[in-house]
């Protein structure tokens, strides 16, 4: 991702209370699994607030805090997750990778060079190495080369300091959390706030880790069962860019499942490994979506699959993906909304500083108009306010 030039004005966090109140966040997401089961039978999608504890009871559009409130705190830290809840986010995302001794920890990648202070630890200097993960070579330090005890000696830091300089204030404040710690934290926060805390959990590079004897799905399922999040009405989504990982999870737990979809011309890595010739473009056809709906309840497409951009980076005409997915009973949680110009469509950028905020509200309005069910956002307060504006139209 492009890192921007220094910013002089202090960034003011947009308060998400208005958006949270508009969707009744504090009221709790109450009883019964019938609505969640409706998704499994492919019934038409209910655009309302739903009834019961299942994912159909979540507000629409659902605001998913991408790696926590990562626009304001270093990603995948308890501080980032907690701030997302304080801002009113409906769901908090975790990405899971394993340690050498098999613990699941929350990092966007197993390469922790840019998200921890590992480079400042001389005792780990010899562990710097080059690895090929999903066909791409990376040089750095990797979670699978550290025991959990060793990983806990590191501190988390901001991943893109050139763009989010204010976030560096929090460098070193938090450790890398285990997923079990997050599950305990979510239970404690749920009791304190009087509502279920929803999680959106991704298995990262599952084929790669299985080849190392560190299969993710069984470890994840064991933790979900231990903490009672393995049912169809549990407050958790499980997601992966590898459909095979989602299928494996479908045999282990009943939790709602989401297939993540990147660029149209790309292939899921498990397809590459198995020789499956299908691309994401094949998976977003009605036939591909029907196949996904046979084992999952939703998709998480890149926003470009919902509204493509032209050569200048401006939004064009929406595709039929939302309509086609809903026809198969699938919900859509596209990714990722961010406030900075560098990440916005060209027609919603303001000024020339890539790290400055653009018209995020205008861009979100365009995406919400397509009928998506939610959005992953680094800035959940912005997304909540945009969703409240959209709902009030």
Tokens of 108: 């966007």
Tokens of 283: 């998976």
22 or 278, higher pLDDT = 278
Which residues lie closer than 8 Å to 287 by C-beta, 6 or more apart? none
Q: What percent of the chain has pLDDT over 70?
A: 87
Burial of residue 64 (number of CB atoms within 10 Å: 0-12, 13-18, 19+): buried
pLDDT in tens, 187-221: 999 999 999 999 999 999 999 999 999 999 999 99
Could you tell me the pLDDT band of residue 172, with boundaries at 50, 70 and 90? very high
338: nearest Cα among 306, 376, 300:
376
Q: What percent of the chain has pLDDT over 90?
A: 86
H/E element holding 290? Answer: helix 286-293
Q: Is the pTM of this model over 0.85?
A: yes
**What DSSP state is assigned to residue 11?**
P
Q: Per-residue pLDDT for 63 more than 50?
A: yes
HEC states along 52-90? Answer: CCCHHHCCCCEEEECCCCCCCCCCCCHHHHHHHHHHCCC
Q: Per-residue pLDDT for 19 more than 50?
A: no
**Domain residue extents for the chain:** 17-102+177-391
What is the reported pLDDT for 45? 36
Could you tell me the pLDDT band of residue 174, with boundaries at 50, 70 and 90? very high
State the Rg of the chain over Cα. Answer: 20
3 or 229, higher pLDDT = 229
pLDDT in tens, 328-377: 999 999 999 999 999 999 999 999 999 999 999 999 999 999 999 999 99
What is the reported pLDDT for 393? 81
Tokens of 70: 């990562």
User: To the nearest whole number, what is the mean pLDDT of the chain?
Assistant: 89
- Whether the CB-CB separation of 85 and 130 falls below 8 Å is answered with no
String of DSSP letters for 13-63 = PPP-HHHHHHTTGGG---S-SHHHHHHHTTPPPP-S--SSSSGGGS-SSEE
Please report how many Cα atoms fall inside a 13 Å half-sphere around the Cα of residue 269, on the Cβ side: 17
- 3-state secondary structure (DSSP) of residue 137: strand
H/E element holding 140? Answer: strand 136-140
Q: Per-residue pLDDT for 39 more than 60?
A: no
What is the reported pLDDT for 144? 98
The pLDDT of 134-163, averaged and rounded, is: 98
- How far apart are alpha carbons 197 and 199 in whole angstroms? 7
Domain spanning 17-102+177-391: CATH 3.20.20.190 = yes
The pLDDT of 287-311, averaged and rounded, is: 98
pLDDT in tens, 230-280: 999 999 999 999 999 999 999 999 999 999 999 999 999 999 999 999 999
- Other C-beta atoms within 10 Å of 82: how many? 17
- Whether the CB-CB separation of 38 and 56 falls below 8 Å is answered with yes
pLDDT in tens, 75-114: 999 999 999 999 999 999 999 999 999 999 999 999 999 9
Could you tell me the pLDDT band of residue 140, with boundaries at 50, 70 and 90? very high
Could you tell me the pLDDT band of residue 120, with boundaries at 50, 70 and 90? very high
The pLDDT of 35-51, averaged and rounded, is: 34
- How far apart are alpha carbons 207 and 214 in whole angstroms? 10
H/E element holding 104? Answer: strand 104-106
- Residue 91 bridge partners (DSSP): 64, 198
Could you tell me the pLDDT band of residue 53, with boundaries at 50, 70 and 90? confident
């Amino acid at each position: 991702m492009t890192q921007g030039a220094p910013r002089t004005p202090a960034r003011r966090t947009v308060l998400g209370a208005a958006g949270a109140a508009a969707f009744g966040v504090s009221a709790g997401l109450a009883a019964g699994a019938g609505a969640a089961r409706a998704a499994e039978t492919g019934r038409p999608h209910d655009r309302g607030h739903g009834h019961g504890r299942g994912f159909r009871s979540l507000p629409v559009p659902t605001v998913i805090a991408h790696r926590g409130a990562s626009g304001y705190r270093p990603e995948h830290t308890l501080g980032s997750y907690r701030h997302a809840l304080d801002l009113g986010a409906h769901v908090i995302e975790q990405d899971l990778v394993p340690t050498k001794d098999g613990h699941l920890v929350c990092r966007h990648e197993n390469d922790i060079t840019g998200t921890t202070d590992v480079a400042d630890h001389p005792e780990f200097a010899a562990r710097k190495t080059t690895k090929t993960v999903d066909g791409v070579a990376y040089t750095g330090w990797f979670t699978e080369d550290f025991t959990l005890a060793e990983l806990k000696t590191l501190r988390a830091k901001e991943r893109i300091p050139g763009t989010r300089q204010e976030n560096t204030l929090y460098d070193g404040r938090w450790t890398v959390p285990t997923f079990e710690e997050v599950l305990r934290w979510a239970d404690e926060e749920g009791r304190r706030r009087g509502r279920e805390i929803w999680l959106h959990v991704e298995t990262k590079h599952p084929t790669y880790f299985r080849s190392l004897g560190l299969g993710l799905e069984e470890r994840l399922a064991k933790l979900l069962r231990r903490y009672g999040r393995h049912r169809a009405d549990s407050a958790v989504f499980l997601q992966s860019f590898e459909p095979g990982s989602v299928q494996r999870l479908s045999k282990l737990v009943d939790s709602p499942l989401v297939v993540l979809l990147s660029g149209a011309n790309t292939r899921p890595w498990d397809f590459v490994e198995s020789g499956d010739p299908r691309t994401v473009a094949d998976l977003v056809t009605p036939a591909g979506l029907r196949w996904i709906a046979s084992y999952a309840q939703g998709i998480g497409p890149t926003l470009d699959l919902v509204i493509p951009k032209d050569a200048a980076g401006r939004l064009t005409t929406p595709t039929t993906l939302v309509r086609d997915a809903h026809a198969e009973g699938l919900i859509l949680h596209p990714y990722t909304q961010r406030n900075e110009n560098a990440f916005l469509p060209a027609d919603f950028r303001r000024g020339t500083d890539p790290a400055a905020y653009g018209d995020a509200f205008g861009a979100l309005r365009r995406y919400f108009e397509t009928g998506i069910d939610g959005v992953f956002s680094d800035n959940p307060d912005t997304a909540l306010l945009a969703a409240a504006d959209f709902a009030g139209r």
